[in-house]
Structure 1
Amino acid sequence: MMTARTRAIETIDLKSPSGDARERGSTADVRQVVESVIADVRERGDEAVREYSKKFDDHAPETFLLSERELDEIVGRVPRQVLDDIRFAQEQVRRMAQRQLDSLADFEMETLAGVLLGQKHVPVQAAGAYVPGGKYPLLASAHMTIITAKVAGVERVAACTPLIQGEVPDATVAAMRLAGADEIYLLGGIQAVAAMAIGTETIAPVNMLAGPGNAFVAEAKRQLFGEVGIDLFAGPTEVLIVADEHADPFVVAVDLLSQAEHGPDSPAVLITTSEQLGRRTIEYIDELLPGMSTRDYAEAAWRDWGTVHVVATLDDAYALADAYAFEHVQILTARPREALEKMHDYGALFLGEGTCVSYGDKVIGTNHVLPTRGAARYTGGLWVGKYLRTVTYQEVVDERSSAMLGELCGRASRVERFEGHARSGDIRAAKYGGAELPWTRHTFER
C-alpha cells in the first residue's frame, strides 16, 4: 500500500526501488564544496574562477568569453543538418514562448472616481543561462533558457557551457548563438554559476539564473537564490507513465529507459491497471538494457529507482501519479486527455502514444526545464513568465477620492498603531477635503 496525499491506494508492486532516497539529495560534502567555491569567487573574482576552471576542467584561458570570430569558426564546424535541426527546434520553442507572452496582458482600471490601478509585466534586465555539458551535452537547454528569456524581452543573456573532455562542444555553442545569447562563455560548474550571479571583473552579474546541471550546479543555484532569482530547484530527471491494458508494453519500456539514461539516480515509474502489461514491460526492459549505449546510467537508474505499481482503476492511477508529483508524466491509455481533468500535480503531461517525453526534451517546443522532487505540487516549469516581474502602479487624480481614502487610511493605520502611515492619509484628507490635522498647526489653503 502506498499513501497518496488524498487517500490510501492499494497497489501490487511488481518492482520497487532499492536505492536510498536520501542519497538523491544534496549531500553535506556537496554543500560544503559549493559554499567554499562561492565564497572564493566572491572574494577573488576572476582569479578564483580561473583556478577552479583549471582544477575541475583543465581549462584556464585568458578570457572565457568567446569572440565573434571564434563563434563564427565554431558554428562553421557544425554540419548543416545539425544546424537545420537546431533552427527547427528553436522555432518551436520560440513559437510556444511567444504564445505564452501573448497570453499575458498589462491592464489599467479605474476602481473609484480618479483612482487608477495598473499592472505591467516587466522583464528582468539580465539573465544567466547554464547549459550543461558532462557526459551527455544538453544543447537543447540552450533553446529552453535563452530563447525563452529573449522572447520575454530580457535585454542581456549571458550563457555558460563547459568543455566536454577538453573539447569545445560545437553544436551546443551553435545552439547558444542561434538562440540569441549576448555573451557566451566556455565555463562550467559552480564557478560559472557563481560568476554569473555574483559578477567578476570580466563577467557582469545577472538578475536571474536558469538551466539544469549536476548536483553541484543545482546546489550553487540553491545557495545563491535570494541574491539572484532562479528558475527552480532542479534534481534528477523523473519520468512516470500511466498505462492501461491498451498500451504497448514495448513502447512503455522504451519510453521509461529513454529518461532513465539521464543519470543513475533518475527514477522511472510505471503505474498501470494491467498486471500483464506491467510484467511484460519489465521483461522488455531486461531485454533492451544490455544493448543500450547509455546502459551505465540507465541500468543503474532502473535497478535502484525503477518502480512498477499495479492499481485497480485509472482513477487510482491518476491519484497515485499526483502523489509522486513528477516532472514528466506520460499517459498511455485509451483516453489520454482524461488526465487533463483528473490530474493536478505534474510538471508536464505527454498525452497518448503519438508523443513522448523525449519530444519535450528535444524538439516539440514546450520547455523541458521542469520541477522535480515533488515541486510540481506548487510550481510549474520554466516559461516566459519566469523572466517577467509582474509589477503594479497606482495613481489618484481625483481630489475627493484622495480625501476619502486619506480618512480611511488614517483610521485603518491607527488600528494597527502605525501613526506615520495615518498621517500620510491625514494630510490628504486635510489638503483635498478640508479635514483638520490635530497633530500639527499646519493648514492647507484651499
Structure 2
Amino acid sequence: MVERILADVRKRGDAAVREYSVKFDKIDVKEPEVPAADREVAVAELDSQTRADTEFAIDNVRRFAEAQLATILPLDIEPLPGLHLGHRVIAIERIGAYVPGGRFPLLSAPIMTIVPAKVAGCREVIACLPPNAHHAMIAGCHLAGADRIFRIGGAQAIAAMAFGTDSIPQVDKIVGPGNAFVNEAKRQVFGPVGIDQLAGPSEIFVLADASGDPRLIATDLLAQAEHDVRTRVGLITTDRSLAERTATEVTRQLETLETAEIAGASWEDYGEIVLCEDEEAMIAYSDHVAAEHLQVHTSDPHALAAKLCNYGSLFIGENASVVYSDKTVGTNHTLPTAGAGHYTGGLWVGSYVKIATHQWLENEAVLKVGPPASRQSASEGLDGHRKAAQVRVDKLRQWSAA
C-alpha cells in the first residue's frame, strides 16, 4: 500500500494527497497549508500555562542545540607543506518535519524536530501534521519556528515532502516519528531525500542495584509503557528483592493509572525483569539491548554510566526521569530504537548540517602527492586517473626547468 501511495503522489501530486486525506483521515482538506492567521489563532487559543510551558521547553531545547552546534567546528589544516585540507559545516537547505497526531496532543514533538533545524540555520522548515491532529499542535509548530505548516498526514505527507507537489515544496531531509505507514514511507523514499532514522515502538530499561526505589522505577516504566501497547519496558538488576518489589509495584500502580489499558498491555506483552549475577553481566545485557531510554538507578550512577556504550539517551541517577527529556530539559527525545543504539545516537543539531570537505594545493604539494597518486592509478589500471595526476606534475617540472 505504501509503495502505491508514494507512486500516486509522485505522479498526481496535490490531487492524490487530497484523496488519501479523505480516505484515511476522513477530512477533505482543500487548502493544505495553514495560513498565518490560523497559526496565530491556534497560539492564541492555548491557555497561558500551556504556552508558558511550551516556550520553556523551546528555550531549553534551543540552548542545548546551540551549545551542541558550537562544538561542530570548521576545519583547515596543512598536513604537508602546501597541502591544505579542511571541511565546512553547512546547514541543510530545506527540512521536512513530520509531526505525529497520535492519541494525545504531543506538544513536545514539533519542538524536538523543528527547533534544532532553526538553530542549525536551515533556510526553510516544512512541518506536516495529520489534518485531524489537535489544534494545539499547529500552535506548537508555529512557536517552534516552522516556516510553513501543512495539514497532511500519513504516507502521503512523506511522499509530498519527498517528491514535492504544486503546494508542498520538495525537501532535502525528512525527520520525525510516525506510525508504521509513515515509517515505511520514510524507508522507501530514502535516497532522493535523507531521513533521520526509522523509529520503532518506544523502549525504556532501568539499571538498578539494591539501592533502587521500586516505586520510582515502576512509575517510570509505566510512564513510557503508556505510549503504545508495543512499548518495550524492562528492569535489569543485580538484586532479587528489588526485582520482586518492582513487579509488585507495577501491578499496584496499574490499578489507578488512567492509561492502564495501554500501559498494562505493554507490560504484559513486552515487559521484562532481568536478574543478573553482577554488575558486569548487567552492563553486558544492557549494551546488548541498546535501549532507546536507559536509566541508571544505582548507588554510584555516574561510575556505572561511564561503563555503558549502547543506548539512545542516558538518564543518570533517580532524579533523571525520561519524562523530563521527553518534555522540557533540552535533550532531544527522537532516539534510536530496536537496537539502533549500537551504531547511532538520536536526533540532534548535527542531524541538520553537512560536514563537507575541501582541499587546495600549492605547487610544492602537487610534487609531493602527484607521483604516488599517479603510480597508484597505474597499478589499478586507471589510465585516465594516472594522466590527471601526472599532467600537473609534468607541467610544474617543465616550468621549473625552463
TM-score under structure 1 length normalisation: 0.88
Q: Which of the residues 368, 382, 385 maps onto 1:404?
A: 368
Q: Give the superposition deviation at 1:194.
A: 1.1
Conserved 8 A contact 2:114-2:146: yes
Number of the residue aligned with 2:322: 357
1:339 & 1:101 partners in 2: Cα distance?
Answer: 28
Number of the residue aligned with 1:347: 312
Q: Give the superposition deviation at 1:445.
A: 9.8
After superposition, give the CA deviation of every residue in 1:73-114 in whole Å (9 maximum; x if it has no partner): 111111111111000001110011111100011011112222
Number of the residue aligned with 2:183: 218
Q: Secondary structure at the match of 1:158?
A: strand
Q: Which of the residues 335, 338, 357 maps onto 2:300?
A: 335
Map residues 192-231 of structure 1 onto 2, 5 A cutoff.
Answer: 192-231=157-196
Q: Which of the residues 270, 278, 286 maps onto 2:235?
A: 270
Conserved 8 A contact 1:315-1:342: no
Number of the residue aligned with 2:55: 87
Does residue 1:241 correspond to 2:206, yes or no? yes
Q: Which runs of 5+ in 2 are unaligned?
A: none
Q: Secondary structure at the match of 1:148?
A: helix
Q: What number of residue pairs does the alignment pair up?
A: 402
Q: Which of the residues 374, 384, 404 maps onto 2:339?
A: 374
Q: Give the superposition deviation at 1:45.
A: 0.7
Q: Secondary structure at the match of 1:61?
A: coil
The Cα RMSD (Å) is 1.4
Number of the residue aligned with 1:114: 82
1:338 & 1:219 partners in 2: Cα distance?
Answer: 39
Q: Secondary structure at the match of 1:127?
A: strand
Q: Give the superposition deviation at 1:154.
A: 0.6
Q: Which of the residues 170, 173, 197 maps onto 2:135?
A: 170
Conserved 8 A contact 1:400-1:432: no
Q: Give the superposition deviation at 1:379.
A: 0.5
Q: Secondary structure at the match of 2:284?
A: helix
1:356 & 1:320 partners in 2: Cα distance?
Answer: 21
Conserved 8 A contact 1:406-1:424: no
Number of the residue aligned with 2:386: 422
Q: Give the superposition deviation at 1:128.
A: 0.5
Q: Secondary structure at the match of 2:255?
A: helix
Letter in 2 for 1:363: T
Q: Which runs of 5+ in 1 are unaligned?
A: 1-32, 436-443
Q: Secondary structure at the match of 1:128?
A: strand
Conserved 8 A contact 1:400-1:433: no
After superposition, give the CA deviation of every residue in 1:377-406 in whole Å (9 maximum; x if it has no partner): 001100111111111111112x23223332
Q: Secondary structure at the match of 2:19?
A: helix
Number of the residue aligned with 1:124: 92
Letter in 2 for 1:117: L
Conserved 8 A contact 2:105-2:136: no
Q: Give the superposition deviation at 1:252.
A: 0.8
After superposition, give the CA deviation of every residue in 1:208-237 in whole Å (9 maximum; x if it has no partner): 011111111111111111121111111000
Does residue 1:37 correspond to 2:1, yes or no? no
Number of the residue aligned with 1:76: 44
Q: Which runs of 4+ in 1 moved over 3 A?
A: none
2:391 & 2:307 partners in 1: Cα distance?
Answer: 55
Number of the residue aligned with 1:280: 245
Letter in 2 for 1:383: W
